[in-house]
Chains A and B, each alone.
Chain A
Amino acid sequence: MLASGLNGITLRVNGRDHELAVAANVTLLEALRENLGLTGTKEGCGHGDCGACIVLMDGHAVNACLVLAVDASGRDIVTIEGLAEGGQLHPLQQAFLDKGAVQCGFCSSGMMLSAKALLDANPDADAELIRRELSGVLCRCGTYPRVIEAVLSVENGINRSGGEG
């Protein structure tokens, strides 16, 4: 069917449709970073081991380095750039700042999007579940305890309003 050349795809990213022509070997991660300039999604390994490239696809956390752009066509993608709305930080973003869950920040987008997927599916996740569900995002700064605290604080509504901490 499509043996070579470019494939026309439609990526719905952060609520906006983008028509792209990509080769089959282009990953969703490359399409986001290079075609759309959304560099908030990071590449840490290219093997799905580190989680820095995690985005939401139809609400599920996926490693964008392991998804071909052609397979993401027509799907609903959310990246870190789409988390804040109306000039307001998302409660998770605010909580990550307030609780010190961000250090170098390279894993932060993968961490926050994983946390969003978890909370959307499981608003009352306890610390153990958070620890397990976020274990696909590696953080060499070792910010995990802060991340867990930040996610729990969002659950408890402390940061629901995006207020100051």
Chain B
Amino acid sequence: MSVIGKSITRVDGVDRVTGRLQYAVDTVLPRMLHAAVVRSTKAHARIQRVDVSGARAMPGVHAVITGQDVPCLIGGMIADQPFLATDKVRFVGEPVVAVAAETELQAQMAADRVIVEYEDLPAVFDMEEALAPGAPLVHEQPSSYRRIAKCQAHDGSNLCHLHEFTTGAEGVERAFAQAERVFEDTFAVPAVSHTAMEPFAAVAVCNPVSGEYTIWAATDAPHRRLSEIAAALGIGSEKIRIIVTAMGGGFGGRGAAIAEMLAVALAKFTDGRPVKVVFSREEVLAASQTRVAAKLTVRTAVTTDGRILARAADMLWDNGAYTSKSPEVAARGGMTVVGPYRVPNISIRSRLVYTNKQPSGAFRGFGTTQTSYACEVHMERIAVELGLDPLEFRLKNGYVEGDSHFCGQRLTGVGLAESLKRAAASVGWGRQKPVVGPGKRYGRGIACMIKGTNTPTVSSCIVRLVADGRLHVLTSSVEIGAGQKTVMSQFAAEASGVTIESVRVSQPDTSVTPFDFGCTSSRSTFHMGNAIRLACEDMRARLFVTAASVFGLPAEGFDLTDSVLSHASGLTLGLREALKKMGARGFEFMGQGTYTPAGSPLLKRDPGNTADDSIFWLFVTHAAEVEVDMETGRVRVLHIAAAHDLGRAINPLNCIQQIEGSVVMGSSLALLEELKLDRGRVCNDSLLDYKISSSEDMPERIDPIIIESDNPEAPWGAKGVGEPAAAATAPAIANAVHAACGVWLRDMPFTPERVLAAIMAQATPEKTVDGHRSS
């Protein structure tokens, strides 16, 4: 019986509902010490003096270390972040001193006694100010940092990374010069926190004899974290082992060695005793990583009948003080500002800027929660001002099967039009507006988006069919909470022919489970799915060869389905029984599979094109119905229809969880979330003041709509679902607000206060500062 397309209950579900799952924060090891961190109270300052003598004298203290003790720089793209600040601090919350003690309380009480004296330096918080000539430099000499080739250093400037792309400058210029209409808008998107419910936590132990580290961590890509930490420590990767624990959500936030870095720093100084680091909620909100704040200016040349001729975008991305994955967000993520549209002329400039703020990094959607908002509100305004139906305008320009992406790749499996039509239908697009209460206005809005996956990347997998008939899947695919283990089990059962109850999916452990690029970029289902398929085929081939010799039958006729071994000749045997006959005790059938899309015919593109291609593309449309309170500016989201082209739903319930969850997160980002800073200090560093959606704040009705499309390389047709999800909600809501009351929302989040200000500004146009509009 096929398990593909079935809503199989979470394979680790019973542990999840009984409280038995061990998260990083639950890790307990013998002789384990606990850490506390002294953090910078200054946004930019030279460290004058660090006095740790008071801390060292406190009871229970084993180690108190400063930046001098760990002169290491970490960063997967640009290694510019010290484990602990050395000569100067660059953001409020930067780790300066770390303490390890017998208990967490003792460590914190010792940390309370550390004295750090600073000499203030001028700080930069605003991206434009940071780029102005003569601005204080966050980093004096970026070129001194270890970095990957595509990240060029810009000494003497706060420009961290520059990414430019054009289909041809001349063509772009000509299109804008000759266009019947040109539109321009500027949008601001704030830094937000991933706010996974489990705070960052890690345990590290260093073997004082061999110098080897073992790290227990909730990380989304253990093999990549391992390389980053090894490079930072300047030791071989064979000296590090990462064991992944269960994790309480990720959303991109577990894509850097945030707690791991501190645990590793201390572990060298505790005589082989393990050290546990657990962030407080304040530290998570103010001193880890954020979504990249961005300021996006988008220009579009169109014909009056709504054909897009050119798109230019100039984007500033706020890196914060240190570099995680933001160069890639600004570059690859930034390209999605074009949207899922056929645009012949494109010019994009993305600049990532150093500021004296908390570092930024990957966030669910990898740039698309910023770019899709800008693109889609801008598109809506073009449609409205041209007098076109926004849905028709999108359908007219949107990608269809076989279109050429601007990277030159021919698009396969394009569910965009269907997603637009079905989401629109679900909110009653084009129908008369329902009557709402006095002082309220009703509106419908729609927004779509495109997202690729990081390509090419690699996933490997080993399967072991053991004597009792169980199939062990050794994979580094991380169960981040989205049901990865369940989907991998479904793939393994389907591909191997054992029942799903016989499948066991391992926890990632870099010394045991093979390489995987990570649980990022909506890639696990597609890539690891393929690796599992290949590994199971490999295993089956070996099984059938042995079966052929044991049972004296030709190998070709064998089959394994539902844990029953059969042969065309009529042989039928339960798998366990068959295995007993096939080998000595301890005999196993293994298979291995490595998948990479590199070289896939689906990636063929125009010669000379430098833009990123993708082994699959995801298309999403969200449509919103809102009610705006004209007196208070409060936006009530009545309904979101969320149509997701995900290829094929391997586990429909899991897909619905992802879609509904993304709508909840998307509307939370749209309406509530923003890290508020005062001279670089986060004011709202608690969940009382950093608001995320509760059950009372989510849209009153959410309709998840699964759109299927064909991608020939997708395992059982599945592309992905987790990431693009939250990106289309905000622009759909913004566009619905416009439909309701005529104001354009160019700054997120759409707080009642901000919406009311827009309504008031519209009512008194002479006061409007309308620098945004050029048309």
Contact = CB atoms under 8 A, between A and B. Distances in A.
Contacts of A84: 18
A142 to B, nearest CB: 3
Interface stretch (A2-10, A66-74, A96-104): A96-104
B688 to A, nearest CB: 5
A109 B19 contact: yes
Given A46-B281, A105-B481, A145-B702, A140 B665 contact: yes
B684 to A, nearest CB: 11
Contacts of A64: none
Contacts of B483: 103
A135 B695 contact: yes
Interface in A69-104: 79-81, 83-84, 89, 93, 96-98, 100, 102-104
B14 interface: yes
B664 A144 contact: yes
B435 interface: no
Nearest to B668: A142
Contact of B281 (A47, A141, A147): A47
Interface in A132-150: 132, 134-148
A101 B262 CA distance: 34
A103 B481 contact: yes
Contacts of B569: none
Nearest to A132: B696
B281 A45 contact: yes
B22 A39 contact: yes
Given A103-B483, A148-B695, A139 B657 contact: no
Interface in A20-41: 25, 33, 38-41
Contact of A144 (B14, B25, B197, B698): B698
Contacts of A49: 281, 686-688
A44 B692 CA distance: 13
Q: Interface range on chain A: under 10, 10 to 19, 20 to 34, or 35 or more?
A: 35 or more
Contacts of A50: 197, 281, 687
A39 B28 CA distance: 10
Interface string B473-486: 00000001111000
A55 to B, nearest CB: 11
A91 B157 CA distance: 61
Contacts of A39: 19, 22, 26
A18 interface: no
B86 to A, nearest CB: 31
B19 A41 contact: yes
Contacts, number: 162
A104 B702 CA distance: 20
B248 A42 contact: yes
Contact of A93 (B18, B21, B199, B247): B18
B654 A44 contact: no
Contacts of A107: 197, 248
A89 B9 CA distance: 14
Given A135-B694, A141-B249, A103 B661 contact: yes
B280 to A, nearest CB: 7
A103 B17 CA distance: 10
B16 A42 contact: no
Specify which of B18, B19, B481, B483 lies most central, judged by the most chain A CB atoms within 10 Å of its CB: B19
Interface in B277-292: 280-281
B52 interface: no
A25 B18 CA distance: 28
Nearest to B27: A39
Interface in B481-500: 481-483
A46 B686 CA distance: 10
Which of the listed residues B248, B654, B688 has the most CB atoms from chain A within 10 Å of its own CB?
Answer: B248
A121 B211 CA distance: 57
Interface string B1-26: 00000010110011011111111011
A146 B657 contact: yes
Contacts of B480: 104
A106 B698 contact: no
A131 interface: yes
Contacts of A165: 9
B660 A142 contact: yes
Contacts of B19: 38-41, 79-81, 109
Main secondary structure of the interface of A (DSSP, over half): loop
B280 A46 contact: yes
B363 interface: no
Interface string B677-705: 00000000011100011111010001000
A57 interface: no
Given A41-B19, A104-B248, A105-B248, A147 B656 contact: no
Contacts of A40: 18-20
A11 interface: no
A84 B18 CA distance: 7
B110 interface: no
Given A80-B19, A105-B21, A47 B249 contact: no
Given A97-B13, A142-B661, A144-B664, A80 B18 contact: yes
A43 B18 contact: no
A105 B656 CA distance: 16
A104 B693 contact: no
B195 interface: yes
B358 interface: no
A39 B195 CA distance: 21
A112 interface: yes
B641 to A, nearest CB: 14
Nearest to B660: A145
A143 to B, nearest CB: 6
B653 interface: yes
Contacts of A130: 695
Contact of A97 (B17, B195, B248, B656): B17
B721 to A, nearest CB: 13
A38 B19 CA distance: 8
A142 B481 contact: no
B249 A142 contact: no
Given A39-B19, A47-B687, A131-B696, A142 B662 contact: yes
B506 to A, nearest CB: 18
Given A89-B18, A142-B693, A104 B481 contact: yes
Contacts of B198: 42, 44, 104, 106
B246 interface: yes
A106 B653 contact: no
B661 A143 contact: yes
Given A97-B9, A135-B694, A105 B246 contact: yes
A54 to B, nearest CB: 12
B707 interface: no
Contact of B481 (A97, A141, A147): A141
Given A49-B688, A100-B654, A106 B197 contact: yes
A68 B23 CA distance: 24
Given A131-B696, A146-B657, A140 B17 contact: no
23 contacts: A38-B19, A42-B197, A44-B248, A46-B281, A50-B197, A81-B20, A96-B17, A100-B653, A103-B657, A106-B196, A106-B198, A108-B16, A108-B17, A135-B695, A138-B197, A140-B197, A140-B692, A141-B249, A141-B481, A141-B482, A142-B668, A145-B660, A146-B656
Interface of A: 25, 33, 38-47, 49-50, 52, 79-81, 83-84, 89, 93, 96-98, 100, 102-109, 112, 130-132, 134-148, 165
| Nearest 9 CB-CB pairings of A with B | A40-B19, A104-B481, A142-B664, A106-B248, A142-B661, A49-B687, A80-B19, A105-B16, A45-B281
Interface of B: 7, 9-10, 13-14, 16-23, 25-26, 105, 194-199, 246-249, 251, 280-281, 480-483, 653-654, 656-657, 660-665, 668, 686-688, 692-696, 698, 702
Given A106-B249, A138-B197, 13 more contacts: A42-B197, A42-B248, A49-B281, A52-B197, A96-B17, A102-B10, A106-B196, A106-B481, A130-B695, A140-B251, A140-B665, A141-B482, A145-B660
